[in-house]
Amino acid sequence: MGVFEDGSGGGVRLARLDEVDRLTRVLTGAFEDDPMLRWFIPSEARWGRHASQLFAWYVRRRIGHGTAFSTEDQQAVALWDDPDHVHMTVSERVREALMVIRVFGGTAGRASRGGAIMGAHHPQFPHWYLHIIGVAPKLQGRGVGSLLLQPVLTRCDQEGMRAYLEASSPRNVPLYERHGFEVVEEVRFPKGPPYFAMVRRPRI
């Protein structure tokens, strides 16, 4: 059963397993110049294949939990963790560790350190976590990202639940602020870029 069945968000719906490849391509294109993802995967030669493996794993996990949303044309995707799945199970952690070794290879240590930093700054209160949101480059700046946010933010308001995300680029902060998120901390990776931890309180 999906998280939403009432059509909240207009053209936004739950993603399906048969869309993993297409949604993975969207994320790979959307994050090609993202400073945080590029810190995790610094090699240009490794970016396409390894980023695709990473995003495919992210997409499949959230589809399995019913928290992956896409537009009808599959040109944008938002991957959330609900309050019950913010923290991974032991088996999921094992699969993630194996995936990190396979994807990052020689930079797996950097990826592990980066993940540990993000985990240490992740809030402990119940919340919805926007893990990643991406829009195909040709549609960026047209309000598609805002549309994708609405179903879960509406649910947060209805249930009195907070939401959390990490803005990986300063240029993305104003978008999230327009939807009620506030920067609570700026975190910097060792010899790397900052990200902005943002929390949204429910609008009741």
Residue 165 has pLDDT above 80, yes or no: yes
Edge-to-edge strand list for the sheet holding 12-14: 12-14, 68-71, 76-81, 127-135, 162-167, 194-200, 181-188
**Per-residue pLDDT averaged across 104-133, rounded?**
87
pLDDT of 196 higher than 50:
yes
The CATH code of domain 12-200 reads 3.40.630.30
Summarize the confidence of residues 54-65 as an average pLDDT. Answer: 92
Kindly indicate the confidence band of residue 151, based on its pLDDT and cuts at 50, 70 and 90.
very high
Q: Is the distance from CB of 10 to CB of 146 less than 8 angstroms?
A: no
Please state whether the predicted TM-score (pTM) of the whole model is above 0.75.
Answer: yes
Quick check: 5 pLDDT over 60? no
Give the pLDDT score at 83: 93
Residues 73-106 pLDDT 10s: 999 999 999 998 877 777 777 777 777 777 777 7
Is pLDDT above 50 for 6?
Answer: no
- What does residue 196 show for φ and ψ, rounded to 5 degrees? -120, 110
Give backbone dihedrals phi and psi of 89, rounded to 5 degrees, phi first: -75, 170
What are the angstrom distances between the C-alpha of 78 and each of 153, 187, 204? 12, 23, 23
Q: Is 48 exposed, middle or buried (0-12, 13-18, 19+ CB in 10 A)?
A: middle
- Residue 177: is its pLDDT beyond 90? yes
In the predicted model, what is the mean pLDDT of the chain?
87
- Lowest mean pLDDT across 88-102, 109-123, 147-161: 88-102
> Any idea where the domains of the chain sit in the sequence?
12-200
Q: What pLDDT is stored for residue 42 in this prediction?
A: 77
pLDDT at 167 over 90: yes
Residue 102's pLDDT is 73
User: Out of 47-56, 66-75, 163-172, which region has the weakest mean confidence (pLDDT)?
Assistant: 47-56
Tell me the average pLDDT across 26-55. Answer: 84
